[in-house]
Amino acid sequence: QTVVTQEPSFSVSPGGTVTLTCGLSSGSVSTGHYPSWYQQTPGQAPRTLIYSTNTRSSGVPDRFSGSIVGNKAALSITGAQAEDESDYYCVLYMGSGIWVFGGGTKLTVL
Amino acid sequence: EVQLLESGGNLVQPGGSLRLSCEASGFTFSSLAMSWVRQAPGKGLEWVSSFSGSSGSTYYADSVKGRFTISRDISKNTLYLQMNSLRADDTAVYYCAKGGNSGNYRDGFDIWGQGTMVTVSS
- Complete DSSP assignment for B41-105: TTS-EEEEEEE-TTT--EEE-TTTTTTEEEEEEGGGTEEEEEE-S--GGG-EEEEEEEEPTT--G
Q: How many angstroms separate the CA of residue A19 from the nearest CA in chain B?
A: 20
Smallest CA-to-CA distance from A19 within A58, A47, A50, A45 is with: A50
A91 and B45 within 8 Å at the Cβ level: the answer is yes
Smallest CA-to-CA distance from B106 within A50, A92, A69 is with: A92
B109 and A91 within 8 Å at the Cβ level: the answer is yes
Amino acid, single-letter form, for residue B81: L
pLDDT value for B95: 98
Between A and B, how many residue pairs show a Cβ–Cβ distance under 8 A? 70
Q: How many angstroms separate the CA of residue B59 from the nearest CA in chain A?
A: 6
pLDDT value for A34: 96
Residues 5-64 of B with CB under 8 A from A: 35, 37, 44-47, 50, 52, 57-59, 61
pLDDT value for B91: 98
Cα torsion B86, A45, A97, B52: sign: positive
pLDDT value for B28: 82
For B107, phi then psi, to 5°, come to -80, 0
Q: Out of A48, A96, A99, name the one closest to residue B110 (CB).
A: A48
Q: Per-residue confidence of chain B (122 residues) as pLDDT tens digits?
A: 999 999 999 999 999 999 999 999 998 888 899 999 999 999 999 999 999 987 889 999 999 999 999 999 999 999 999 999 999 999 999 999 998 888 788 889 999 999 999 999 99
B61 and A34 within 8 Å at the Cβ level: the answer is no
Instruction: Please report residues of B whose CB lies closer than 8 A to that of A36.
Output: 107-109
For the stretch A23-78, pLDDT in tens is 999 999 999 999 999 999 999 999 999 999 999 999 999 999 999 999 999 999 99
Q: How many angstroms separate the CA of residue A17 from the nearest CA in chain B?
A: 24
Q: Out of A45, A93, A104, name the one closest to residue B95 (CB).
A: A45
For the stretch A11-25, pLDDT in tens is 999 999 999 999 999
Mutate to test the interface with A, among B47, B64, B117 (most CBs of A within 10 A): B47
A45 and B52 within 8 Å at the Cβ level: the answer is no
Smallest CA-to-CA distance from A84 within A54, A63, A109 is with: A109
First to last CA, chain A: 36
Distance, CA of B96 to CA of B79 (rounded, Å): 8
